Structure 1
Amino acid sequence: MQDKPLSIKKQRKLPLARRLLPFILAAAFPAALLFLFFLPAGAGADEFQATPGAVVAPEPAAPAGENLTGVFYDNGSFLKYKAGAAGITIVACDQAATRINIPDYIEGKPVTNIAREAFSGCRELTEIRLPGTLRTIGYAAFAGCKSLTGIDLPEGLEQVGEHAFWYCDSLREVKIPASLKDFNLNTFTGKGDIRFAVAENNPVYTCRDGVIYTKDGKTLVRAGIIGSDSFAVPDSVTEISTGAFFHHPLTSITLGPNVKTIGPEAFSSCLQLEEVNLNEGLKNIGDKAFQGCLRLDGIIFNEGLKSIGANAFEGTAALKEIVLPAGLASLGQSAFKGSGLEKADLAKSGLETLPYGTFWDCVRLQDITLGDRIRVIEDSAFRNCTFREITLPAQLRQLKTSFTGCAELESITFPYSLKSMGSGVFAECTALEAVYFEGNMPHRGDGFGTSVPNGVWTRENDSFSGLPLAVAKKLKIYVLTGARGWGDSFKDFADGSGATSRIPFVYPVEYYTLEEEAEQDNPRLILHAPESFAHLETGSTAEALGVIRAGLPAEAGPILWSSSDPSVAAVDDSGRVTALQMGVSTITASLVYKGTLYTGEAEVNAIGLESPLDWSVQRDGTVIINGFREGISEQEMTELEIPRSLGGYTVGAIRSHAFAKNPSIRSVRIPGTVQTIGNNAFYYCALLREVILEEGIRDIGVNAFAGTGLRELVVPQSVTRIQDAAFADCQELQSATIKSGNLEYPLGIGVFRDGQNLKEVTLAEGITATGGYTFAGCTSLESITLPSTLQALNMYDFSGCSNLKTVELQGYLLRQETGIAENYNPFAALNIDFVRGIDNKHIKFDYRESKDLVILHPDDGNDWGGLFNNAVRTGVRIPGGGIRLDGFIPLTSHSDTGGKSYQPVINEINYGTFPVPVQNRTAAIAETAQSSTEASGEKDEDNTAKETAKAATVFEVVRKTVEENPWLSVAAGGMILAVILLGGAGRFRRNRNDQ
C-alpha cells in the first residue's frame, strides 16, 4: 500500500526540525561539559584530599551580602573570613560542607581566629583540619556539628570558648596541645565515649588511662573512655571538677581518701550509676552533682560533709533513704527534688533553713524527721508530697508556701514559736481537716490586714487561700485559750485569690488548752510574749509573760525567771520585763518536774528614742529602715547617717521610697551592713549632694538615687547588682566610679541616663553587660574605657552623647549579639549601632562626617572591625597616646581628625583569592564609601548596590574558573566552532534540497 503523501504544512515542519537538530546537539555538548566541571567536589571521591583554601560542600549556596572582607571559593563552595590588623578570622562556612581544610594563610595573613558560632550547625561536617597558626576558637564555634568525629587542636592554640564543641554527638577523639593552658574541658558534651590525648609537654594537664588530671594530680578534670564500669578516684585527687563524669556510663564510683570537693554536675546524668562510696574527708557536693542519676539507690553521707549544692540529687528516682550528717550547714535549693525518697532524717544536721523545693515532688516520702534546729521552711519545700502528717521543728519561726499540693495531708500542728506564714501555704491540700496553733496568731500571708472595698477585712493572699471551697467549709482551726490575735472570727477567701474568686468565708475556730492533753508525748513550757516585746522602749515595763505548761501538771514548779542580758532587760518573779537599755535579751522560764528540766524562751527587743529613724525588724532578724520618724525637724534630716544596728539588730535594708523626695537631706552615709537599698529610696532628693556607700552593700535598687544632686559617686566593690536608672537624671554628677570584687554582674537599664554633666566614668573589671540607654543623654561625656569583662553592649547605650570622642574597649565582646532585630542590635550591619541616637549634627553614621568618635580596641589580631558598622571609625592606641585607625575605613579629603594624631591605613577591598584589576579595585573602594555614606535609610540604592555586588561575585566566579582552568577556553572555542559548522552544514543541505 502506498504511503499517504504529507501535507504542505507538515512538509514545511520537517525541514525546520531537521535544521534545529544541529543547534540542539551543539548546545547539549557544552552543557554536559559544564555540568561535569561544576559537579560538587568530592561527590565521587573515595578519600578526602585537603588542599589549601578548599571547602568541600555538596550543595553550595552563594554567600549572603554580609560585610565580609573576603570569601574563598572552590568549585562553588565558600569559606567566609574577615581580615584584621594581625590576622584572619574565619566567620562562617557552607552549612552543607562535609570536609574542610582551613589553610594557615589567606592573602598572606595568618589565620588566627575562628569566630563564635562560625561552624555552628554544620551537621554534615565530618572532618576538619585546623591551621597551625590558630590562636583562638570562639564561643560555640562548632556547636551542633553532629557528624564531626575527631578534632586535632593545633599547637599554638591558646583559648577555646565555652560550648565550642557542644552537641558534637559523633566526636570520639580530641587531641589537646601543650599551648592550651587554660581550657574548660566541658566545652565538649559526650557520654564518656571521647578518647582524649594530651601533649606530654602540656604544663597544666596530663592524661592517664583515659582520664584528664591537672599536672599535679590534685584535680580530676574530665573522664573519657576508661574501659570499665567502675572507677576508683586516685589518692592524689582533692577535687573532682565540673562535669568530670557528665553522662558517663560507669555504674560504680569510689572516692579517694583525700577528695574534698565534688564539683557542679560532676556525675550529672550518669544514667547507669548505682553505687557511690563517699570518703570521710569530703566537705562539699556541688550543684547538680548527681542530678538525673536514675539508678542511684543509696548514699551514705560522711559526718564531715559541710554543704550539698542546689539540685544535687534531683531526679534520683531509685534513692530511698537519706540521713543528713551533723556537720551539714548548707543545703541548696531543690536538692532532692523529684527523688524516690521514702524516708529522710534531718534531726542531726546543723541546718537552720530548709531551702526552696528541697523535697518537691518526692511523692513517696512518708517518714520525715526535721529535728528542732530548723527555724525557716522555704517555699515549695514539700510541694506535691503525699505524707498525711508531719512534725514541725519546735523552734520554727517562719513558714512560707511550703505545703502546696500536699493532697493527702490531713492535719498539722504549728509550734508556739511560729511568727510568720506565707501565702497559700495549704493551696491544693484537698484532704486537710484540722490545723492546730500552739501560739499567738502569726503574720499570715503577704496580704495580711488588707482591706477591700466591701468593708470586710480580708486576706486574699492569706496562708489559707487556695483551698477548694469544699475543703475550706470542713476545715477546723484550733487555737489555744488565751492566745492573742485570733479574735472571734476567722475571715478569709477560699478557692484561690483575686477579684474573680473572692469568697468571704468564716472558718470554724475552736479553742483548746494544751494542759488538758495529758497524753502528750512532748511536755514543755510555752511562753507567750506580749506584742510590746518586739519594741519595748527603754525604761518601760511590759505586761507579764504568759506561761502554758503543755503536758505538765499545774503543781509542777516553781517557775524560775532569768534574762540572758540583765543590763538590757530585767525580769521579776512574776515574769514582768523592764527594758533598761537598747539591745536584745532572751527571757527564760524554767522548772524541774520529776528530775527533768523544762524551759521556755521569749526574746525582748529594747529600743531607745535616740534615733530619728522609723524602723522595723524583718523576718530574717535584721532591721529595715522605713524613713524618718514623725516630728523630726529639717535640721535633724540634713546629715543622714544610717546606723549599723538598732535595738540590738543589724540594719540590713532601706525600704523602697524610704526618703523619696525629701527636700532636706544634704548628705548620707550607708554602712556595709545594709545589703539592699530599695527602689526609689532617695528618689529626687534634689539637695542630696554627697553619698558615701561603704563596702558590704550588695544591691542598689531601681531609681535609688535618681534625680539627686550627687556630684561624685563611688560604688563599692561589694555591690553585685545596680538596677535600672539607679543614678539617672543626676544633673550635677560629674564623676562616677563603679568598683567590682571580681563578681560578674550586668548593669541595669539607663543607670546614668541624662547625666548631662557626667564627664568621667570608671567601670572596674567585673561588669559583664549593659542594660541599654546606660549613658544616654550624657552630653558632657567625652571618653570612656570599658572593662575587659564586658561581653556585650546594648541598644542606645550612648544615645545623645554628642561630645563623645572615644570609647575604649579592653576585651573582646564575646557575647555581643549580631543577628537580632536592628532596633535592638547595638552593632547592626546597617545604620543602627550602639552610637545610634547621637546628635545627628555631630555623628551622621558616615566616616566623612563623624568628626570625633573612634572606637578603640586592643591590638590583638582579633577581627574587631567585624563587630561594627563601617560608618563607625575604629582603631588602636599607639605609643605616645595617638590613634591608628583600622584599615577598612578609607580616608577621604572630607575626613576631619579633630586635631588628634590619627594614622589611617588604607587597605584595598579584599575579594578573597581573585586578582582584581586596579581600576576595578578603585571603583569598588569608591562604591563602598558611597554605600557607607548613604547607608541611613536609602533602601532602593542599598538594594541596587547589593544586586551589583551579587552580579560582580558571579562574574568573578566565572572569571576565576576560566583562569584556573585554561582548557575551558579551548573547549568553549571548539563548541562555538561546532555550532557554526553544524549550522552551516544544515543551511547547505537545505539549499541543495531546494534546488
Structure 2
Amino acid sequence: MFRSSLFSNLLSRQVLLNSAIGVKDNVVTVTTDYDYTNLLIFLKNYPEVDTLISISNIVPSYYPINRIKVSTIKIQGSANSVPSGFLIGNRYVKSVELSKNVTSIGPGCFKNSAIQNITIDGNISSLGEGAFYGCSSLTELSIMTKTIPNTFAANCFNLAKITISEESITIGSSAFAYCYSLAVFSFSKVTSIADKAFQFSGLNNATFPASVESIGVSAFAYSKIDAFTLEGSNVSIGDYAFQGTQLTEAKLTNVPRLGKGIFTECPSLESIETGVIEIPEEFASYCTKLEKVTANSAYIIGVRSFYNCIKLESITLNDNETTIKKECFMFCEKLDFAFKENQIYTISDYAFSYCSKLKLPSLHENTTVGNYAFIGCDKIEELTINWGLTSFGIFMGCKNLETVTYTYNSSTDVNVLPDYTFCNCSSLSEFIDKSVLSSVNSYAFASTNIKEINLFNAFIANYAFADGSLKKITLAGVSSSQTDAFYNCDSLKTIVFSKIADPAGVNAINFANLTLDEISIEEGHESLNISNGLLTYGNDTLVLVTPQFTKSELRIPESVTYINHEAFITNRYIKKLYIPFTVYIVDSSNIIHSTSIEKLEISFDSNATFYMGVRDNKKLKFINISTQFDKIGDNSFSNNENLEEVVLPSTITEIGNYAFNMCPKLKTINIENVSVFGEYAFNGTALKTFDFSKMISQTVPAGILGFCSNLKEVKGTSNITTVDEYAFSHCESLKKFESSILYNIMSNAFEYCTSLKEINFKTIEYIYPHAFTQCTSLKSVELTTTVNFPLDASESSSFAFSFCTSLKSIDLTGLNIIPVSLFYGCSSLKEVTFSSGLIEIGSFAFSGCGFKEITIPDSVTLIGSNAFGSNSKLKTATIGKGTPSFDNSWFAPATQTIKIIIPPSIKNIGSTVFTSMDNVKIEFSSENNYYDYQDQTLIGKIKKNLVTTVGKLGKVYEVPEQIRVIDSNAIKRDTSDDSSSSEELDLLVQSDGIARAAIIKIQSNISTFGSVDFTVQSMCYEGEYYLGDSLTTSSSSSITTIYNSYASENYLYNVLFGSENAGPKCSTSLSDSFKWRHIVGMSSAEIGLTVAFVIVLIALIVLVILYFVFPFSKCSSKGEEA
C-alpha cells in the first residue's frame, strides 16, 4: 500500500529520480548542463521556487530556458559564457548575477526580458549584439568591457545609469538608442562613438575628451542633449550627429571638418561658432531660433546649410571669394547678409530666396548668380547691377524693387535679359539699360509697373511685358513669331522702333492684340520710314499701317509692290481698302487682317492666281476684285465672320480649297463661270443656292457646302456621278439632290440633312458609312439593284441610314447582304421588303426600329447580334426555315413580351440568345427534334440538358423534371439593358425588389450542375447524386455564393454545392438580407409601433383642439359662478 502511494505521489509530481536538481528554501540548484533539460518540468511541481542557482560548468543554449518562471538567476559555477537568447523575452526573471568566471555574453542574451538589475563580476571580453536590447525594466548596468556592441542596450527605456570600467572603449551603432532615462554618460575613456549610438536618448550634456576620435552619423540625433564640450581637435563628426537635439549654442572652432546636417532641426539652437572653411550641406537647416553664426574661416556655404532659419540675423564669413550654394539661406526672413562691394561671389539657385530683409549693393563684375537666387527679397528697393544676368528669375517677386540700373558690359555681342528676371516686381517703375541689351526674354518684365522703357538694341520675346503697366517702349524689334510679347498690356499706346531696329523684327502681327495710338521710327533709320501713316521698308514694302492713319479709306501707293503679313492689324480706322495693280502676290502669307476694314477693293496687275490671304477680318463685309484673275487660291478668304458679298471678275474659273471656308454670312458671290471647285471651298457659308452647271468634274468636292444650313437648292447636278465625303454635311435646309447617273456616295456626304426627303437610288452602286445619317425627313429608301457598302479604314459599321426617323417602309430587294448598323435607330421603320436571295443580316442592322412583327426570309443563313434589338414595339418574330443556328441575341434588348417562332431547321440555340429580354414566349412552328420549351426553360432533347432560362424568373425557380443536366450559367437573372428598373445582376443589389431565382429547386434526376454566376439564397436538391463541389463560374475570380443548401434524405453527403447540407427542409421564404422594404413591407413589430405612434399623435391633436375650443379660463369662471 505504501509503495503504491509513494510511486503515485512521485509520478504526480513528475520528479526524476536520477536528477541532481535540488530544492532548498525556495532555491533550486542545477549542477550539470543535463539538469537544464528537465528543469521546466521539475519547476512545475515546485511553484514556490523563486531562485535558480547554476553551478554547472556550462550554461547550455539548446534548451528554451527563457521560459523559466523564477525571479532570480545566479550563475556561480565554472561556466564562462552565457549563450545567445538565454533569457530572450522572459517576463519573470527580475535579477541576474554573473560570476567572475563569465567572460562572454551572447547576442540577444537578455533581449526584451523583464530583468531589473544585473551584477556582472567578470571582465567581459566578448559581448554580443543586442545583449540587453529592449530590457525596459533595467535601470542600472555596470560592466567591465572595452567594446560595447551594436544595439547593446537599445530601447532600455528606464536605464538611468551605465558604468563601463575599462580603457579605450568603443561604442557600437545604436548601442544606447532610445534610452530615454539615460541622462548622464561618461565619455572619459571612450575613443569612438558609432552611428546612432545615443539617438533618442535622454542625455542632456556631454564632454568629449581628446581621446574621442570619431562621432558617427546621427550619433546623438534627437537626444535631449542641450550642451556639449569638445576638447580634442582631430575628432571626426559624422552627418546629422546632433540633429534635432536641444542645444542652445554650439562651438566647434577646433574641428577642421564637419558632416552634413550636423545641427539640422535643432529647435533651441541660437548661436553657432565654427572654424571650418566649408560649412557642410544642411548644416543648421530648420533651426528656427538660430540668430547668429560666426564662421570666420568659411568661404564655402553648402546646399541648404541654413534653410528655413527664420530668425537668423547675421553670419560672419571669410573675406575671400565666397561660394553660396543652392537654397543656402532660403526663407531666412530676418537675414541681413553683409555683402561686400567688389567682392566676388558665386551664388547658386534660390540661395537667398525669400530673405525679406536682404539688401544688395553693387558686387564685383565677375560675380555669378543662379536661378531665382533673390526671388521674394522684398527689402531690395534699388539695384545697380554691374555683373551679368545669366540665370532665370533672379529678382522675381521682389515686390518693393523700384529702380534698376543695368551697367554690365558683355564681352560678346549677345547680352540677354533672361526669362522671369523681374517678373512680378510690382513696384518696378524704372529700368535703365546701360549694358545695351540685345534680347529681353519671356516674362522678364511681366507684371511690373514700368510705364516707359528704352531698349533700343533689344528684341522682345513672348510675354516679356505680359500683364504690365507699359505705356511706351523703344525697341529694336520683336522676336520672330512672338505674337504675345505685350500680352494683356492694355495701357501700351506708343511703340518707337529705334534707328538701329532690324526690319525683320518689325511686324504688325506682333501688336495684333493692342490698341495703339502711335507707331514711330527714330530719325536716321536707313531703310524704315513712315509717310502718310504707312510704315514701309525701302519704299516698296508696306510693313504696316500705323494707328496715325485716321482716314476711313486707303489706297495703297503704286510704289508698293509687297504687303507684309498682317500689315493692317495695327490700324482701326480704315473701312475701305484699295489694293493697286502694282502689288505682287507671292503666296497666301500676304495676309490682310484688320479689325476695322469693311470694304476691300483689289486691283492687281494681271496675275493668274489670287493668293493673298484675306482672313480673320472682324468687320469685312464686301470684297470686289477687278483684276482679271482666273483662280482664287487656297484659304484666300476664309474665316471672315461678317463677309456678306464677294464680286469676282468674270475670268475666275477656279476656286481653291477652303477659299471661303467659315464665312458664315456670305450670301452673294458670282461664280457662274467657275468650272473647278476645291474642297471645303464654301463650307460654313450662308449660300441658299448653288449651281454646279459649269463644273468640269463629275464629283462634288469633299465638304464644299458642308454646314451651309441655309442651302435649299443645288442645280446643275445632272452630270454628277460622285458626291464626296461631307459635301453636304449639315445642310439642314436642302430638300433634294437629283442626278440620273449618281452611283457613288462617300462617307457623311448628306449626314444631318434634316430636310432631305428624296434621293434616286436606282443608279447608286456604292454608299459609304454615315452617308445619310440623321436625314430625319427621308421617307423612302428603295435599293432594288445591287448596292455595295464599303467601310473606311476607321469604320467597322455602316450606319449609312442610321437615325433616319421618318423612314416607314423600305425596299431592299437588291441587297443579298444587309451591312452592320445600316438602319440603326430608324424608329418609325415598320415594313421592309427583303430580297429573295438575302443570306445575311448584319449586327444592329435594324436595332432601334419600329417593327411590330418581323419575318426573316427562309434564304437567310446568318444573322448578327442585336440585329433587331431595341425594337420596343416588336411583338412577333418568325425565324426563317433556312436558318440553321440561333446563336446570337438577335432581338435583345427588349422589355416587352415577344413571341419568337422557331422553325425545325434550327439545330443549335445558344445559351445567351435570350439575354437581356424580359418577357419571351417561344413557339416551335412544328415539332423540333432538338429543343423543347417548358416553364421559362429551353431544354435540349438529346442530352436532356437545361440550355438557358428565358425572361424574368420568379422568386422560386423549379427545374423541370425532364432535365438531367444543368449547363454552366444556364440559369440566368439578367434583364434588358434599357429596363426602366435599372436592375443589376447581383441579387443583393437589385433595386426592383424582385429576388428572381433566389431559391432554386432541383429535381431528383439531376446528376450534373454546371455553375451559376449570381448569389443564391437556397439550393434545394431532391436527388441522391453527389453535388458537393462549389459552383464556380467561368471567371476564375468569381465564386458563386450560396447561403443555404438543402437536400433530401436520400442524399448521403454532408456537403452540397460547397456548403453544409442543411437537411431535407427547403425553405421558400426569403431571409432579411434578400428582402426589399417597398416590396415586403414592415415587420409586425414595426407595424405595432407605427399604429401606437399614430394613436398618440391623434390624441395630442384632440387635446390641442379642446384647449382652443374650451380654454381653461372659461372653465374656471363658470365653476366660480356655479
After TM superposition, the score normalised by the length of structure 2 is 0.33
Higher RCO (C-alpha 8 Å, min separation 6)? 1
Richer in helix (by share):
1
Larger Rg: 2
After TM superposition, the score normalised by the length of structure 1 is 0.37
